Amino acid sequence: MSQIKSMQLFRLITLVCLCLFLNAPLAWAIPIKIGMSATFTGASRNLGIELYQGAMAYIENINKSGGINGNEIVVQVYDDKYEPLPALQNTIKLVEQDKVIALFNYVGTPTVVQILPLLKKYADQNTLLFFPLTGAQPHRQPPYSQYVFNLRASYREETAGIVDNLVKVGRKRIAVFYQLDSYGRSGWDGVLKALQKNDLDIVEEATYRRGATFETSFKPQVEAIKKATPDAIISIGSYQACAGFIRDARNAGLNVPIANVSFVGSESLLKLLVEGGVSGRDYTRNLINSQVVPSYEDLSLPAVEEYRKLIDAYRATPSKPPVPSDYKPIRYSFVSFEGFLNAKLLVEILKLVPDLSTSPDLRPIVEKLENLDIGIGAPITFNSQKHQALSNVYYTTVESGIFIPIGEWERFAK
């Protein structure tokens, strides 16, 4: 072979190798492992799925852009079915086996309460829980508040606003329907404290067991509450049980306002009430739902515009585990928007970490965050005495099949 042909062959091989290199998949540095335990099966699965998909819509977009300094964010997910024991087992696995640098996006009070002692146990490994979907008090007060950072408002703040607004429009006889566990009791306690500030008390209460479905009969609970002739009812539960209770209450002629807190999963609740309703009967009338994130319809907020764009793209691809194949996604929801904001804030925190190759101590980094703008019109600030970013509560009702802000509470006047 001549020298000229050898040189041409060498150039060709070099060019081919260069092309292969440029088109090769992104070579990641050390992955950033985040751990999530949530419900992906069972009566409350929509909450875990929506929270997860909202977060992943943002995280996958970050990864497509090179991750964080060349580090891919990997979310290791386990299903806990909204039950405390699996949540405990999942957390041990995430910390000891998967070696995650943070826990994130847990769903529910009974599950989070169960793992709080583990956070204390793993304190020497800098294990923190970021932005769980619960407004309960145990992780907002000592001794566990130091291990948890919250984005959302508390159930005390949600229930206080509901009670105060109902009392102002003359609805002072308030009953409570709640889940018989730490979540329900946390909400019940918030209602009671808010009523006592108004020199009032709960007129009647009824409970149900976690895991109840829409098909469950809630007639006994409705009958007990109806006898007390309440002016309004506050429900502390998940979407299936609360929808079933609303159905049975309306069927029994109990048409007073019924309010739900954010954990209910508003869109999942609404879907059940619309699809499972009796012809000619509107189960969504006199419905109040508190929210802890702004409306995903408020396009004046940069985060809303970003959320809708990224979640549309994410939902356009087929669902993959841990999301069950039979799950029908909700286009936009308050829970998926909350998951999106959780991920957005977590990414901003991770960007501040100088070395992601070890188990970094994130607490001092987070506690220095001040007036961080994530696009919702409310700056994010944390410090050593403040591990809850937001206290805003937004109140919504249903009109024409969608949730809209409550402009004037006089519409619910007695």
Q: What pLDDT shows up at residue 18? A: 46
Let me know: does 39 contact 108? Beta carbons within 8 Å.
yes
* SS3 state at 373: coil
CATH of 32-152+299-383, one of 3.40.50.12780, 3.40.50.11900, 3.30.200.20, 3.40.50.2300: 3.40.50.2300
Per-residue pLDDT of 43-66, as tens digits, reads: 999 999 999 999 999 999 999 999
Residue 281, pLDDT score: 85
CB 208 within 8 A of CB 180: yes
Residues 6+ apart with CB under 8 A from 80: 37, 38, 39, 86, 87, 90, 107, 111
pTM of the model: 0.92
* pLDDT tens string 172-215: 999 999 999 999 999 999 999 999 999 999 999 999 999 999 99
Query: pLDDT digits over 65-99, tens only?
Result: 999 999 999 999 999 999 999 999 999 999 999 99
Alpha-carbon dihedral angle through residues 246, 250, 255, 260, given to the nearest 10 degrees = 10
Q: What would the mean pLDDT of 261-272 be, rounded to a whole number?
A: 98
409 pLDDT band, cuts 50/70/90, is very high
Would the CATH topology of 32-152+299-383 be identical to that of 155-291+395-412? yes
Six-digit token pair at 257?
A: 């306002």
**Which sequence spans correspond to the domains of the chain?**
32-152+299-383, 155-291+395-412
Q: What proportion of the chain, given as a percentage, has pLDDT over 70? A: 93
Q: Cα separation of 51 and 342, whole Å? A: 9
Spatial CA neighbour of 56 closest among 346, 301, 385: 346
Confidence band (pLDDT; 50, 70, 90) for 320? confident
- We find that the CATH architecture of domain 155-291+395-412 is 3-Layer(aba) Sandwich (3.40)
pLDDT band with cut points at 50, 70 and 90 for residue 6: low
- Bridge partners, residue 38, by sequence: 79
- State the pLDDT at residue 16: 45
- Predicted local confidence at residue 28, as pLDDT: 58
Largest CA distance in the chain: 103
